[in-house]
Amino acid sequence: MTLKRFSVEHFKQSYQLAQYAFRFADDKQHRDEFYQLLEHSTVYGAFSKQQLASQVIATPLKVQLFNQVFDMAGIGFVSSDPSFRGQGNIDQLMQQMLEDCYQNGVTLSYLDPFSYPFYRKYGYELTFERICYDLESSKWPDSAKAAGYVYRMNWEDVKDGIKQIDQQSDKHKHGGLLREDWWYDYKFKEKTNVYFALYYNQQDQPEGYLIYKIESGKFICIRWLNLTVEAYKGLNRYIFSHKDSTERIIFEKGYDRNEGFFIHDKPIAQAIVRPEMMARIVNVQAFLQKYPLKNLKESFAITVENDPYAPWNEGTFELIKNEQLQIQKVTSTSLPELKISVQRLVQLLLGYVSIDDLIFHEFVSVDEKIIESIRQLTPQKAPILEDYF
């Protein structure tokens, strides 16, 4: 096999392999979207002579976390031609991708797994959950009339308002994507079956948006974001207004463990919570350098025990509390120590699980002296991600 990095120069082969593996419709819309994705991505391909045997698509993106921006590689369309499966191609491509991320200063990577065990061996771990509401339209709870109004518009007229609301909201700034202009167009431009609605306040300022589609009698909410309670009421009532024209209302979103059931007299009775995206820390030392450690109460060490696909992460990192915080990699330490895998480390530092949960399930080894310090350093809020790669 010959390993190559490419973008659009092998578009046809890359598209055909992805379409065969993931079985999406082969039409102009999907071809145009895939081409746009490749324009902004690096494709890691394994070629047998001139035939593309396997591929991994890595898209450089930015995520918002702890009021900072982190470079992240979004991994998608991992696929192999059936003739070449089981030959270790994906192993080589994933390793090359991670090495490139490390060299280029990328600290995080996300992906949507077809198999959690398969990607766990590459250092990824479940970090994001999703909740799905699917109920008869007549059972969707109504809201009181809002002070403002809702307008349904086309993409070109609505996109600036959506961007403005995304920038002002803190809802998806705990691990969510910092959406760039091309990403908005990639997701929503030229989507003939998608509708957009904005809520405006009495001063004609946008305060919330709804992106949805209607298919086979189902109102499917793709994205819903509010800056104010009035925006929530206005858009919720807009959804409710479809109860007579649709049979079911479906709404999926990132699960933050606070669903606001207290808002309505009759809360939605059923919902399904499921595991979703995985994440991994590509460069532990660089990630710790940007992590909010100002409130560190005492020095301690983190030892990452095994990371074969990113061996630079293996070892001990001391977090030293001085006048200026120091983070250094050492060969040995006398500091109180947390021993943890790179998979559990991303869950802990992004707030998906607590140190107490990891201790209870015996996923870590930790000096009792530093447990309270770790509790205070790590987030209490669950990470949220709404975008797929």
Amino acid 293: pLDDT: 87
pTM: 0.93
> How many CA atoms within 13 Å lie on the side-chain side of 35?
9
The residue length of the chain stands at 389
Instruction: Report the mean per-residue pLDDT for the chain.
Output: 95
CB 68 within 8 A of CB 290: yes
Amino acid 174: pLDDT: 93
- Transcribe 268-280 into DSSP letters: ----EEEE--EEE
In the block, tokens 């909010």 appear at 292
Q: Please give the backbone phi and psi of residue 226, each rounded to the nearest 5 degrees, phi first.
A: -125, 140
Amino acid 280: pLDDT: 98
- Transcribe 224-247 into DSSP letters: EEESSHHHHHHHHHHHHTTTTT-S
In whole angstroms, give the CA distance from residue 36 to residue 191.
14
In whole angstroms, give the CA distance from residue 205 to residue 191.
25
Name which of 102, 111, 106 is nearest 71 in CA terms: 106
Q: State which H helix or E strand residue 90 sits in.
A: helix 89-103
Amino acid 339: pLDDT: 98
Alpha-carbon distance values, 303 to 96, 330, 341 (Å): 24, 10, 8
In whole angstroms, give the CA distance from residue 251 to residue 265.
19
Task: Give residue-wise pLDDT tens across range 251-300.
Answer: 999 998 878 777 878 888 889 999 999 999 999 999 999 999 877 889 99
In whole angstroms, give the CA distance from residue 205 to residue 389.
32
Amino acid 1: pLDDT: 87
Amino acid 264: pLDDT: 78
CB 53 within 8 A of CB 46: yes
Alpha-carbon distance values, 203 to 163, 207, 267 (Å): 19, 10, 31
In whole angstroms, give the CA distance from residue 327 to residue 386.
32
CB 80 within 8 A of CB 89: yes
Amino acid 137: pLDDT: 95
**Which residue segments constitute the domains of the chain, with CATH numbers given?**
2-106 (3.40.630.30), 131-275 (3.40.630.30), 283-377 (3.30.1050.10)
Residue 144, Cβ density class (10 Å: 0-12 exposed, 13-18 middle, ≥19 buried): exposed
Mean pLDDT by 10 residues, the chain (389 residues): 95 97 92 96 96 97 94 97 91 98 98 96 97 95 95 96 95 92 92 94 97 97 96 97 96 88 80 96 97 88 96 97 88 97 98 97 97 93 91
Long-range contacts of 328-334 (CB under 8 A, 24+ apart): 329/285, 330/301, 333/301, 333/303
Q: Please give the backbone phi and psi of residue 109, each rounded to the nearest 5 degrees, phi first.
A: -145, 140
In whole angstroms, give the CA distance from residue 231 to residue 268.
20
Query: Kind of pairing, strands 218-226 and 248-254?
Result: parallel
In whole angstroms, give the CA distance from residue 199 to residue 207.
6
Residue 49, Cβ density class (10 Å: 0-12 exposed, 13-18 middle, ≥19 buried): exposed
CB 223 within 8 A of CB 210: yes
Q: Please give the backbone phi and psi of residue 131, each rounded to the nearest 5 degrees, phi first.
A: -120, 140
In whole angstroms, give the CA distance from residue 381 to residue 242.
33
Name which of 91, 65, 81, 85 is nearest 3 in CA terms: 91
